[in-house]
Amino acid sequence: MSSNSSKTADHRRKWDAEEYERMATERLQQELEAQEKLNQRAAPVKRDYLRQRDYKVDLDSKLGKSVVITKNTPSSQTGGYYCNVCDCIVKDSINFLDHINGKKHQRNLGMSMKVERSTLEQVKKRFEANKRKLEDKKRDYDLEQRMKEIQEEEEKLKEYRRERKKEKKRKLEEDEDDREPSSALASVMGFSGFGSSKKK
């Protein structure tokens, strides 16, 4: 019986623990090397600071126009607003503005959503530039030319008032011409007017 019991205990498969330990460490080493390679490839991208747009956004060129769209029409010419940077179509102007001001679009342009901090010198230069613009505007302001414009406006206003007075006089004369036959008829009938207390 002792030989029989040894056979029943021996029927299981034997695993070489050292071999599997070695394979596990090799696999971990390969995974670490692959991770390091990915980290080296995907170095952090340096993006520019957010800048002001140097072009006008065209929102109203297609306003009120009808376009026939077929299955062969390119996606940039179908209905809505097309963004060639992101290659997408947005259906209305509000969402298009949200898109072009959004994070995804700015990243595709190579910008981050961070704004460059201005230095004290940059702020002073900006103030000086704005001050120069105001002074240039004041110099361009010609006093004599402005006086001529004011006189022309006054003359136009006087002419307009004269025309209005003439128009009122003409209307009053037409009204009086229309009223004379009715007042004659009223005197024949025996009363002086139709209830108006207005005197001429």
Per-residue pLDDT tens, the chain, 200 aa: give them.
455 555 566 677 778 888 999 999 999 999 999 988 877 766 666 788 888 888 888 888 888 888 888 888 887 788 888 898 998 999 888 999 999 999 999 989 888 888 888 899 999 999 999 999 888 777 666 677 788 889 999 999 999 999 999 999 888 888 776 665 566 666 777 666 556 555 55
What is the distance between the alpha carbons of residues 184 and 186, in angstroms, rounded to a whole number?
A: 5
pLDDT at 59: 85
pLDDT at 156: 93
Strands (E), the chain: 81-83, 88-90
Q: How many CB atoms lie within 10 A of CB 84?
A: 7
